[in-house]
Amino acid sequence: MYDTCVWSPHRLGQINLVESVQRKFAKRLPVYDSLDYKKRQMRLHADSLELRRLRYDLIYTYKVVFGLANGSASDLFTLTSLIHFTSMRGHMYKLFPHCDHAGQYKYFFLQRILDTWNNLPAKPNDFSSPARFTSFIKSADLSRFFIARVLTLAVLSCFNTLWYFVH
């Protein structure tokens, strides 16, 4: 999963298609063929591909923020200064894009990861080392940041609103 920053599906159909590869592979394992996908994942200790992509994106963001990756963080975003941290909730490493490219770069790595990074339920010591951050990311519940879940909730919200106006 080294190229998740470069390519990560953003459409529900693409996410399901990529996930179906893991689903079909796990179903071919003789002992697991009678189990549903969620139970196979649990028994195999395998995360969904979407969760793994999200984790790798966050770990890569950590490396960029702390200068452990090629390239400069200042080329991509502005890091919150400690002066502004006192009036903000959450961790002190909030990221802000230099400008809003919502249309042209809507699915670009930075746009994709910004809200997730800024809303991490992390404590300051979770950022103390790459190993500590990786451990935090693996134990944190990131399900609210899944694209599939967000899209499904948005569709349900629209459906409920439409239902309300029709009836």
Question: 32 near 44, Cβ under 8 Å?
Answer: yes
Residue 7 in any domain: the answer is no
| Residue 2 falls inside a structural domain | no
DSSP states along 54-68: HHHHHHHHHHHHTT-
Which residues form the domain of 56? 12-166
Evaluate if pTM is beyond 0.75: no
Is residue 4 included in any domain, yes or no? no
Question: What does the pLDDT look like over 55-67, one tens digit per residue?
Answer: 988 998 899 889 8
In a domain, 59, yes or no: yes
**Selection from 58, 32, 8, 152 nearest residue 24 by Cα:** 32
CA distances from 49 to 7, 23, 52, 55 (A): 13, 10, 5, 10
Residues 24-54, buried b or exposed e (16+ Cβ, 10 A)? eebeeeeebeebebeebbeeeeeebbbbebb
Q: What average pLDDT does range 15-38 have in this prediction?
A: 81
The domain total for the chain is 1
Name which of 13-17, 103-107, 125-129, 161-165 the model is least confident about: 161-165
Q: Locate 6 and state its tokens.
A: 């470069």
62 domain residue, yes or no: yes
Which pair of structure tokens corresponds to residue 41? 């994942």
Evaluate whether residue 3 is within a structural domain.
Answer: no
Q: How far apart are CA 51 and CA 48, in angstroms?
A: 5
124 in any annotated domain: yes
Of the pLDDT bands very low, low, confident and very high (cuts 50, 70, 90), residue 10 is low
Quick check: is 75 in a domain? yes
